[in-house]
Structure 1
Amino acid sequence: MSYYDPLETRDPDEREADLMDKLARQVAHAKETTHYYFQALAGVNPYECTTREALARLPLTRKRDLIDLQKKTPPFGGLNSLPRHKAKRVFASPGPIYEIQGKDIDPWRMARVLYAAGFRDGDLIHNCFSYHFTPGAFIFEGGARKLGCAVFPGGTGQTEQQVQAMLDLKPEGYVGTPSFLRIIVEKAEELGANISFLRKACVSGEALPGVTRDWLRQRGISVRQCYATADIGAIGYETEAEEGLVVEEELLVEIVRPGTGDPVAPGEVGEVVVTTFNPDYPLIRFATGDLSAILPGRSPCGRSNIRLKGWLGRADQTTKVKGMFVHPEQVADLARRHPEIGRMRLVVDNPGGQDRMVLHCETALGNPELDKALVASLREVTKLRGEVAFSAPGGLPNDGKVIEDSRVY
């Protein structure tokens, strides 16, 4: 096996001690240098933030709140410690949400991801992420440059020109979405162009279906996935084992129950929450809005960090019932009021064309009094009438959903 550096195979206890030491210093740095965390972490002693339990007590910063934060404190919501005029680049993602890149060539830690995908110093990478507005192309280009790879800025679209550039330059690998890679290869086959020199790819931005991976593998292209966001950069990456996504070394990752900041049990599906150690744009307990779960055991590839199961959906399951929004945080409030309940899932349907809410609860203690109490709490918290249904412990699916909208229109 070949590794980017010794960090990938270090003892998990050593990694945890290192991350906790960095956490305390990053909390202190964020409080001292950013407007947002000066307020959000008021009363927090940074140097007591040296355990997972202390981390779980810190407030979440939700991705969905960035638009409003950036409107109130433009342009970056007060989360940046680096002033705008000292930035290397500024990007815009849909929303719009603005992101800042400092002086570091690879603040998104993508070099490690590309190495795990098989890229090496001297390779030429055909980059088909967009160079327009968003940071995707630059995220991968920064990692490539740090790794010693040259980059062709292919961008998106213009399929025949992409094939011609590949024929002329003969890149060893591709980065971009898996669907566009397949389109390029199909176009090459249609044109009778031999691009068999393209042997590896690192893809992101959308799901990689097994049928697409197999189709590309049959054509000699090894494909690895990366889970990244515009705000954080690389979070998890696939290795030659192809068993889950290994968490990047320079991050603290938690899985929490949607609507709360409470860590879930190992293996349970929840929201991915990330703490970064980027000094220019520190994000502490950043709730991505994505669902995943921790896989048990160590990767067969030998890397010792925890692994994510992959992207399992969206955590923000807010829906509108009879003209009123119902949020995951409200279901979390119900759970706090009734600790005798295990999992809860609020199912919204519309039999007969009328919206209905049913709160499904896992408990071994179902009785009429508990039913009445839950109905009353549901009305008080959501301002809407609803019903309650009980199931045995373990009876609800482990998929991270706390609100299920199953209405048929």
Structure 2
Amino acid sequence: MSEKIFELIQYAYEHSEAFKERMIRSNLEPNDIKTKEDLSKLPILKKENLPILQQDDLPFGGLATIPIQQMARVFMSPGPIYDPQTSEDDFWRFAEALKTAGFHENDVVQNTFSYHLSPAGFIFDSALRKLGATVIPAGVGNRELQVQIMKDLGVTGYVGTPSFLAILLDAAEEKGWKVGSEIKLSKAFFTAEKFTTELRQRFTDYGIDVYEGYGTADCGLIAYEDKQGEGLKVTETAIVQICDPHTGEVLSDEGEGEVVVTLFDQHYPLIRFGTGDLSSWIKGKVGERLTGVLGRVSDGVKVKGMFVRENQLTAVLEQLGLPNYQAVVTRKEHQDHLEIFIESDRPIPDNIGLKLKDVIRVTPHITTVLPGELKGESKKLVDKREWK
């Protein structure tokens, strides 16, 4: 491990101008970082700062060591953040988690993550193909079509959010199709959304073997369920730390802190990258097992698998002359619901929801209220979901 760390630091220092400047600002040279413990000498590179860094030096903020013409793909995540895929194969390393969840070469898998701009669809497509599974690139939405595909093609595996699988199974029940006969589904892997105990029990009652994982568009796989203990097992393909979000100090106990990841990708070396997610170690399993995502360091709130941020909403609404608003996230029938209350004494544009969706990738419900009704709410983005 120490040799890999030193090689990564040395390469990044020589080929990434942004990383070299980061080292110089910290009075560091490559020889100063040779072990996992030495990484803490570097300040955390915060995800929330990536949009600014990238806009100052498009497209990757000077972090990449190869030009865009040598990338396999480039994605655009909310922020906006440009995420490069620097090579083919299982670039995001999720095959490790899917293999543990029982996916294999004889599976036909319905991938319900988006293939459009967001990398989620390709993340699981590439991992499943590495395992030899047949992939149906179903993408998001289209309930009736998706459940028809599930029946006609004898789908055995599902990857996506738990709430959308619940929607598909509801549709199957409406048609009189039962899991185990018309619907062959036997396994599912979830991420990007809170997986409730209620839904876990429902899927288990259907005879579906369910697992969940944790990763990001920037970092790929971070941790995953293996049913060998509490929480999620940390991947062996990256360095994962829990750090004080303010000081960057590595936490060596079960305290809550920010998930900080270092990847061994020389072409896009994310080193001491702060994901913005809060987590902690399972008691007695420091460095081995995470409790899962406990919240966010910044103002980002995950809605239907996408991070929505207050500054995104404010930028759009202020441009439209509607600065007074409050966005409220709730959960209805296992689905996230985003409602934005906007103060206005006049009719607001009919397309305001579409303008917001273009930025946050989630369709909001718009409600107009009279000026003063929000009473100057200081918190513009509120998460009122209750998880059971």
- The answer to whether TM tops 0.5 is yes
Match of 2:18 in 1: 36
Contact 1:246-1:305 within 8 A present in 2 as well: no
Q: Give 1:306's match in structure 2, choosing from 284, 288, 297.
A: 288
The aligned amino acid for 1:315 is V
Aligned partners of 1:76, 1:244: CA distance in 2, in Å? 33
Q: TM-score, normalised by structure 2?
A: 0.74
Match of 1:255 in 2: 242
Report the Cα offset of residue 94 of structure 1. Answer: 0.7
Matched, 1:26 2:8: yes
Report the Cα offset of residue 102 of structure 1. Answer: 1.6
Aligned partners of 1:242, 1:215: CA distance in 2, in Å? 22
Aligned partners of 1:240, 1:203: CA distance in 2, in Å? 14
Match of 1:275 in 2: 262
Q: Give 2:156's match in structure 1, choosing from 172, 180, 183.
A: 172
- 1:295 aligns to what SS in structure 2? coil
- 1:186 aligns to what SS in structure 2? helix
- 2:164 aligns to what SS in structure 1? helix
Contact 1:30-1:81 within 8 A present in 2 as well: yes
Aligned partners of 2:44, 2:296: CA distance in 1, in Å? 16
Report the Cα offset of residue 231 of structure 1. Answer: 0.3
Report the Cα offset of residue 78 of structure 1. Answer: 1.1
Larger Cα-atom Rg:
1
Match of 1:88 in 2: 72
Deviations 1:38-68 (A, max 9, x none): 2111242323322343111112111000000
- 2:295 aligns to what SS in structure 1? coil
Q: Give 1:132's match in structure 2, choosing from 107, 113, 116.
A: 116
The aligned amino acid for 1:222 is D
Matched, 1:206 2:202: no
1:75–1:22 distance in 2 versus 1, CA, 3 Å: same
- 1:92 aligns to what SS in structure 2? strand
Q: Give 1:146's match in structure 2, choosing from 130, 133, 139.
A: 130
Report the Cα offset of residue 177 of structure 1. Answer: 0.6
1:242–1:215 distance in 2 versus 1, CA, 3 Å: farther
Match of 1:228 in 2: 215
- 1:215 aligns to what SS in structure 2? helix
Aligned partners of 2:227, 2:141: CA distance in 1, in Å? 29
Gaps of 5+ in 2: 301-378, 383-388
The aligned amino acid for 2:185 is L
The aligned amino acid for 1:186 is D
Aligned partners of 1:171, 1:35: CA distance in 2, in Å? 47
Match of 2:227 in 1: 240
Contact 2:240-2:287 within 8 A present in 1 as well: no
Contact 2:281-2:287 within 8 A present in 1 as well: no
Matched, 1:70 2:54: yes
- 1:224 aligns to what SS in structure 2? strand
Report the Cα offset of residue 242 of structure 1. Answer: 5.9
Aligned partners of 2:18, 2:43: CA distance in 1, in Å? 12
Deviations 1:76-110 (A, max 9, x none): 11111121011111101111111111223111101
Contact 2:72-2:87 within 8 A present in 1 as well: yes
Contact 1:166-1:195 within 8 A present in 2 as well: no
Report the Cα offset of residue 121 of structure 1. Answer: 2.0
Q: Give 1:291's match in structure 2, choosing from 264, 278, 281.
A: 278
Aligned residues: 300
Contact 1:107-1:278 within 8 A present in 2 as well: no
Match of 2:166 in 1: 182
Contact 1:34-1:81 within 8 A present in 2 as well: yes
Gaps of 5+ in 1: 1-17, 299-303, 319-404
Contact 1:258-1:316 within 8 A present in 2 as well: no
Aligned partners of 2:65, 2:106: CA distance in 1, in Å? 35
Aligned partners of 1:317, 1:179: CA distance in 2, in Å? 23
Quote the RMSD (CA, aligned, Å).
2.2
Aligned partners of 1:179, 1:202: CA distance in 2, in Å? 12
Aligned partners of 1:191, 1:294: CA distance in 2, in Å? 44
Aligned partners of 1:65, 1:305: CA distance in 2, in Å? 26
Report the Cα offset of residue 221 of structure 1. Answer: 1.0
1:139–1:244 distance in 2 versus 1, CA, 3 Å: same
Contact 1:131-1:138 within 8 A present in 2 as well: yes
- 1:214 aligns to what SS in structure 2? helix
The aligned amino acid for 1:62 is K
Q: Give 1:102's match in structure 2, choosing from 86, 98, 103.
A: 86
Contact 2:98-2:127 within 8 A present in 1 as well: yes
Contact 2:240-2:262 within 8 A present in 1 as well: yes
Contact 1:274-1:287 within 8 A present in 2 as well: yes
- 1:74 aligns to what SS in structure 2? coil
- 2:14 aligns to what SS in structure 1? helix
Deviation beyond 6 Å, 4+ runs, structure 1: none
1:317–1:177 distance in 2 versus 1, CA, 3 Å: closer
Report the Cα offset of residue 305 of structure 1. Answer: 6.6
Aligned partners of 2:114, 2:125: CA distance in 1, in Å? 11
Aligned partners of 1:305, 1:266: CA distance in 2, in Å? 9
More deviation in 260-269 or 207-216?
A: 260-269
More deviation in 49-58 or 113-122?
A: 49-58
